[in-house]
Structure 1
Amino acid sequence: MTILLVEDDEVDVMNVKRAFKKNNISNPLVVASNGIEALEVLRSVSPDRPRPKIVLLDLNMPRMGGIEFLKEIRQDPELSSLSVFVMTTSNEDSDKIEAFNLNVAGYILKPLSMDRFISAVSTLNSYWTLCEFPG
């Protein structure tokens, strides 16, 4: 199962990759640096490039931020059922409320220490390993 990471910060991208490696997560990881790129990834599927079923989403990004991206995918019948986990520095209640109103599966605050981040990714892996996703 492919996972889409929507993140504009290279250090955070490297931290996610490191946490995947530490947790022996071998799922393919596709990276987009903003919501517009992420939509292109999600809408350009082919037999050799399946659509990601899980999205790890930063909220604060250029061009199209996370909340805007969430609104867009929730209005698209092809994408509305994606499982989205927000991973962000925003501790604003308004962002949390808006994200949960847009049916996010979870909201994780950054920055965590590397150990806590690895643990959080391990928990996410347990979640998506246990869940059954439609074909």
Structure 2
Amino acid sequence: MALNLTGFYQMVSQENMDAYLHALDINFALRKIVCFLRPNKDITHDPATGRMRIRTLTTFKNFDMDFTLGQTFTEDLGPVDGRVCQTTVDWQGDKLVCMQKGEKENRGWTHWVEGDLLHLEMRVQDVVAKQVFKKVR
């Protein structure tokens, strides 16, 4: 049975974010701002319906992702890099895996839990960035 990820998480670490943003063609100034931010994740997950909302909250800009597990949808990544892609999010074992098909190859992310830590691995082309969040409520 899939995990319920509902909760509020604060970032505790990140690595390789500048290279990841560079692979997305984000300009230098914006990359520096994003790398400085310490985002929080607010996740609402209803395992009974498969509905999920992941809100990434920062002092600069927020990003909402609202979807149903296993259903492909058109995702507007305008706030991130100005692109639109076809996105599918679903469980692969105990990991929540997102595949984003569009202009950039091998784009997506994976979330998984270890104890009270939520891990996020973001990938595009051959670049991988990682963030770790601690569940605070």
- TM-score over 0.5 for the alignment? no
TM-score normalised by length of structure 2: 0.31
Q: Normalised by the size of structure 1, how large is the TM-score?
A: 0.31
More strand by share: 2
More helix by share: 1
